[in-house]
Each structure stands twice: as C-alpha cells, then as structure tokens.
Amino acid sequence: MIFFDCHASYGFAKEGLFPGAVHTREDLLEEMDQAGVRHAVVSRIEQLTTSPQLGNKLLADDLAGQDRLYGLWAIVPVHTAELPEPAQMLAEMKQSRIVGWQLCPGDLRFLPKAFVLTEWLELAQRNRVPLFVNTAHGCGLGDLADLLEKFPQLVVVLSDTSVWPGDRLLRPFLAAFPHVYLDLTNQFTAGGLASLVKQYGAGRLLYGSGFPQSYLGANMLLVRHAAISEADKAAIASGNLMRLIGEINYDQP
C-alpha cells in the first residue's frame, strides 16, 4: 500500500520549534523512508514564521528536481501586494510542484473572511485548487463555514485541532459541502474511521500525519487496521489525494 501524506512540514524557526522537527528536505525524506511514506504534501515553517514570500520560494526551490514531495504555498490578502497576483501564482504552481494554498490567518495576521480573500477563493473554486485549512492556524470551523457558504464548491482539505473527538463538529461539514476532505491527522477514535467510511464513503478521507507534531507512522496504523475494505484503505492512503491533485486546472479558463 502506498502512503501519501497530506500534512507534513519542515524548516527552520527562530524559536518554539517542535522538538521532532527536521530542517531540510533530505531530513524529511529520511523520516519518510523510515516510516514507509512514499509521498507527502509539505510546507516550510518559514512560510508562517519568517515571511510567506521567502518561505514559498524556499519550498519551490526544494521541490525542484525530485518526485516525492509536493508543496503548499501560503497566501495573504492581495491588497498589500506582497505576493504575485493569484492568477500569476496559479500559472507558476505546476512547474513548482505546488498543489494547493494554505490558509493561516492567525500566523500571517489577516481575517479569514470572504471579502478579504475573494480573489483567491474565486480562482481556487473555479480551478479546483485545494485550500488547506488547519484550525490551529487561525481559521476556525465557524470561519470556514462562512467561507464555504459563500463559495460552496471550494475544494478544502480540513485538519481540525480544536476538539477531540470532533465528530459533532466535522461530520456536518462532510454532509453539507461535497468538496470538503478530512485530513485524518487528529481523527483517531476507536472505530471512528470505519464509521466515517460507512456514513460518507472513503472518497473524502485523507491520510495525514501532522509531522512533526505527530509521528509519520501513527496514522498509517489507523488506516492499515481499520475495519474497512482494502480498496478503501488504498483510497485513503494515497488514491484520494492523487485524484485531487490530478483535478487541479493550472490553466486559466
């Protein structure tokens, strides 16, 4: 079974770095080899702690010339002109192996509101660019619900760290919004994965480790030993994420 992690990061920070963090692409690949993870969608810590411009560039440079890692670029409101325009960013994504935008308003100090992010959200919805939302970074579930009510066709990869277990909070998102995908990083209740598959199918669940806050191999066990079919395990381990990446339209309509 191939595992494709939807949630990993690495890099340098001035302070507060998690003890298990690794600094370089090579270090991360070594950790992945030890755990048996083939591919990963990754971000660099500097995107949120130093500057999105520098972090995005460092990540793109790291991804050049290799085939196991895919990246997320951090975004900020267009109003400050700190990053290229959304359309230009989209045009540069494919050659840089970038497969989504991460929404981190708490770290980057902006409001997670539709009027703040309209240009990004319109383009993401139209071109099926996944928006990666980790509630630990300042976009709460209420904020995300507001965004999705205005842009209901957004492709969202949701990682929730607000409450455990979070079924009462998260299952309504899966029921109401057909393009919300759940990162399983923090979803480890007994029998929980089998229950999610039974109610919503396996197609919107993604293996995620949350590395370095969590060990790469922990949620691999969750998927391997769940009471679900082998086909569903393979979809969650890598197939669903590969499909999402394949559906991105990098060309302007």
What is d(CA 249, CA 90) in angstroms, rounded to the nearest whole number? Answer: 9
Residue 231 has pLDDT above 70, yes or no: yes
- Give dist(CA 116, CA 200) in Å, integer: 32
Tokens standing for residue 236: 């969650």
**Residue 33: its pLDDT value, please?**
97
Start-end of H helices in 64-155: 86-93, 105-108, 114-127, 141-150
Is the Cα dihedral 137, 139, 142, 145 positive or negative?
A: negative
pLDDT at residue 15 is higher than 80:
no
Residues with Cβ within 8 Å of 6's Cβ and at least 6 positions away in sequence, in order, are 40, 41, 132, 157, 183, 206, 207, 208, 241
Mean pLDDT value across the chain: 94
Give tens-digit pLDDT for 54-96.
999 999 999 998 999 999 999 999 999 999 999 999 999 999 9
Residue 25 has pLDDT above 80, yes or no: yes
Taking the alpha carbons at both ends of the chain, their separation in whole angstroms is 36
Query: Distance between CA 132 and CA 155 in Å, rounded?
Result: 9
Tracing tokens 């993401």 back to the chain, one arrives at: 124
Q: Which one of 3.90.1150.10, 3.20.20.140, 2.60.120.260, 3.40.1190.20 gives the CATH number of domain 4-246?
A: 3.20.20.140
Give domain limits for the chain. 4-246
